């Protein structure tokens, strides 16, 4: 039977058999003392184990684990995938696409680039024998105190600010959200690159990927058994979480705003909070609407529109009705390839309300099956969050100069923008001022790599590496 925890050698918690959404697994029953003991072992042994493990071997172990979970025929995938399918609420094709998007983004090419940047940032005494590694080619806001790249473009936003400088040390605690599968890999990779022990706390809604991935890492590099742990408990358990939040040097927390705020208030070290964020698209009149729509359909449908980089609204100074029609057709095609997961009745009701309101107001609304998505031409420019189920509002504008004012109320709560056409890309700097941390062409927004600046922070800087000003 699969289980929801993996921890350094030593005494562990009792486990009980549980069933969730038809998935049977063993759940660890943690106590404050039990978690404190895990923290003790990670602090005592984890840093030393990582210091003795060269960057080259860490990278090799990482790539081995990623390859196993990207391979649908591997023992790891075959053991875990049926459970993820039930727990994540995605269709089979949707889950496969989601895993490939997340895991492919942190595979060898971009992981090696991140390790190259971490080379000079190791804690004192850490192994640095990874120079000349083969393959090294090219899901924060909060209290850090508080989640088309055209040719030659790099990640956008405040990327050059917040680049790492000197290496930090100490335990990293990561509190994960349950909205997307496999996102544990995104904060885990930079922690390993910096040689810092890690405790991953999974959401109760999906407690199985993180421990399975940690086991794969340990099989590839047994030394990591002392340095990486994964556990699950109900979030917000103040007494249970105290040993972690009071002792971790850095806490990364992902989730809704109340959960993020609660963790930030209780963290003694540095807390980097990734609360809810939204993404959008800007399509200039100069762009081909059919081509843009095909890419946008991917950015909407991937993860069933649950991610911080999922497009929820489209702004255009072109023919909004034509673009809306093209997007509706592209979403229908995408739904045939990636059907949505089981419909949530409350989400379906909210989408039906959007449709009914559009009819009452006489708005343009291409005919679509509910499961394929919903596209509405909304003449009011103010950004409105999508209720989900691949629902998108297309906003016609007389000029793209109106995009930034329309988004002003969402300053600090935006994550990404899919940009089509040179006039749309001209807004890149202005969007960064609103907090947009990633710009990409339609179809590429939801495929960031290991170096993307979630919340505007370099992934190494998010773990405390000071800025160099480069």
Q: What is the pLDDT of residue 126?
A: 55
Structure tokens at 246: 């009071």
d(CA 117, CA 163): 10
Q: What is the pLDDT of residue 269?
A: 94
Question: What mean pLDDT do residues 194-217 have?
Answer: 97
Q: What is the pLDDT of residues 369-407, one digit of tens each?
A: 999 999 999 999 999 999 999 999 999 999 999 999 999
The mean predicted confidence, pLDDT, of the chain is: 91
User: Does 343 have pLDDT greater than 60?
Assistant: yes
Per-residue model confidence as pLDDT tens digits over 91-130: 999 999 999 999 999 999 999 999 999 988 877 655 544 4
The CA–CA distances, whole Å, from 287 to 69, 135, 202, 291 equal 37, 35, 41, 8
Which residues, other chains included, contact 99 with Cβ-Cβ below 8 Å and sequence gap of 6+? 69, 70, 84, 181, 182
pLDDT in tens, 126-151: 554 443 343 333 333 333 333 333 32
Q: For residue 245, is pLDDT > 80?
A: yes
Q: What is the pLDDT of residue 150?
A: 32
Average pLDDT of span 152-174? 56
Can you tell me the distance from the alpha carbon of 131 to that of 225, in angstroms, rounded to the nearest whole number? Answer: 24
Q: Is the pLDDT of residue 169 over 90?
A: no
pLDDT computed for residue 88 by the predictor: 96
In sequence order, the β-bridge partners of residue 417 are 280, 439
As a whole number of angstroms, the distance between CA 184 and CA 198 comes to 11
Closest CA to 109 of 166, 160, 62, 51: 62
The model's confidence at residue 466, banded by pLDDT at 50, 70 and 90, is low
Q: What is the pTM of this model?
A: 0.89
- Average pLDDT for residues 319-333, to the nearest whole number? 99
For the chain, what is the HEC assignment?
CCECCECCCCCCCEEEEEEECCEEEEEEECCHHHHHHHHHHHHHHHHHHHHCCCHHHHHHHHHHHHHHHHCCCCHHHHHHHHHHHHHHCCCHHHHHHHHHHHHHCCCHHHHHHHHHHHHHHCCCCCCCCCCCCCCCCCCCECCECCCCCCCCCCCCCCCCCCCECCCCCCCEEEECCCCCCCCCHHHHHHHHHCCCCEEEEECCCCCCHHHHHHHHHHHHCHHHHHCEEEEECCCCCHHHHHHHHCCCCEEEEECCHHHHHHHHHHCCCEEEEECCCEEEEEECCCCCHHHHHHHHHHHHHHHHHCCCCCEEEEEECCCHHHHHHHHHHHHHHHHHHCCCCCCCHHHHHHHHHHHHHHHHHCCCCCCCCCCCCEEEECCCCCCCCCCCCCEEEEEECCCHHHHHHHHHHHCCCEEEEEEECHHHHCCHHHHHHCCCCEEECCCCCCCCCCCCCHHHCCCCHHHCCCECCC
Residue 390 CA to its chain's centroid (Å): 18
What band does 167 get if pLDDT is binned at 50, 70 and 90? low
Q: What is the CB neighbour count within 10 angstroms for residue 14?
A: 11
Q: What is the largest CA-CA distance in the chain?
A: 68
Q: What average pLDDT does range 432-448 have in this prediction? A: 98
What is d(CA 88, CA 13) in angstroms, rounded to the nearest whole number?
A: 26
Q: Does the pLDDT at position 469 exceed 70?
A: no
CA angle 24, 27, 32 (to 5 degrees): 170
Token readout for 53 is 């493990």
Q: Residue 233 has which token pair?
A: 């408990």
For the segment 7-49, what is each residue's pLDDT rounded down to a tens digit? 999 999 999 999 999 999 999 999 999 999 999 999 999 999 9
Structure tokens at 436: 């947009």
Percent of the chain with pLDDT over 70: 90
Of 71-80, 150-159, 321-330, 372-381, the least confident: 150-159
């Amino acid at each position: 039977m699969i289980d929801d925890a993996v921890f350094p050698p030593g005494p562990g918690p009792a486990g009980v058999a549980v069933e969730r959404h038809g998935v049977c697994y063993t759940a660890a029953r943690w106590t404050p003392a039990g978690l404190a003991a895990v923290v003790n072992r990670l602090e005592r042994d984890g840093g030393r184990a990582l210091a003795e493990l060269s960057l080259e071997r860490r990278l090799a172990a990482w790539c081995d684990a990623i390859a196993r979970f990207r391979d649908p025929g591997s023992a790891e995938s075959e053991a875990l995938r049926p459970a993820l399918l039930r727990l994540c609420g995605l269709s089979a094709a949707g889950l496969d696409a989601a895993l490939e998007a997340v895991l492919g983004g942190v595979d060898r090419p971009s992981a090696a680039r991140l390790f190259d940047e971490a080379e000079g940032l190791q804690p004192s005494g850490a192994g640095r024998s990874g120079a000349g590694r083969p393959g090294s080619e090219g899901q924060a806001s909060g209290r850090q105190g508080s989640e088309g790249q055209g040719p030659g473009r790099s990640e956008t936003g405040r990327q050059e600010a917040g680049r790492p400088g000197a290496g930090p040390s100490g335990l990293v605690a990561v509190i994960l959200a349950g909205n997307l599968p496999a996102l544990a890999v995104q904060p885990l990779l930079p922690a390993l690159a910096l040689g810092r022990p890690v405790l991953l706390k999974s959401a109760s809604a999906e407690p199985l990927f993180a421990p399975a991935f940690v086991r794969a890492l340990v099989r590839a590099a047994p030394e990591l058994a002392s340095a990486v742990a994964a556990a699950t408990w109900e979030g917000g358990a103040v007494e249970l979480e105290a040993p972690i939040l009071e002792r971790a040097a850095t806490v990364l927390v992902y989730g809704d705003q109340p959960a993020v705020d609660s963790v930030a208030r209780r963290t003694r070290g540095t807390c980097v909070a990734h609360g809810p964020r939204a993404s959008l698209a800007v399509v200039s009149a100069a762009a081909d609407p059919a081509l843009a729509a095909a890419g946008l359909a991917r950015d909407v449908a991937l993860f069933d529109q649950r991610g911080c980089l999922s497009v929820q609204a489209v702004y255009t100074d072109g023919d909004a009705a034509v673009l809306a029609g093209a997007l509706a057709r592209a979403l229908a095609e995408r739904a045939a390839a990636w059907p949505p997961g089981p419909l949530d009745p409350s989400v379906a009701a909210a989408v039906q309300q959007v449709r009914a309101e559009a009819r009452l107001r006489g708005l343009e609304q291409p005919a679509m099956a509910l499961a394929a998505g919903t596209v509405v031409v909304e003449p009011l420019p103010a950004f409105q969050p999508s209720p989900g189920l691949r629902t998108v509002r297309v906003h016609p504008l007389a000029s793209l100069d109106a995009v930034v004012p329309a988004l002003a109320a969402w300053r600090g709560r935006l994550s990404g923008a899919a940009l089509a056409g040179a006039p749309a890309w001209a807004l890149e700097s202005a969007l960064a001022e609103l907090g947009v941390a990633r710009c990409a062409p339609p179809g590429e927004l939801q495929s960031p790599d290991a170096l993307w600046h979630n919340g505007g922070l370099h992934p190494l800087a998010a773990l405390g590496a000071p800025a160099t000003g480069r």
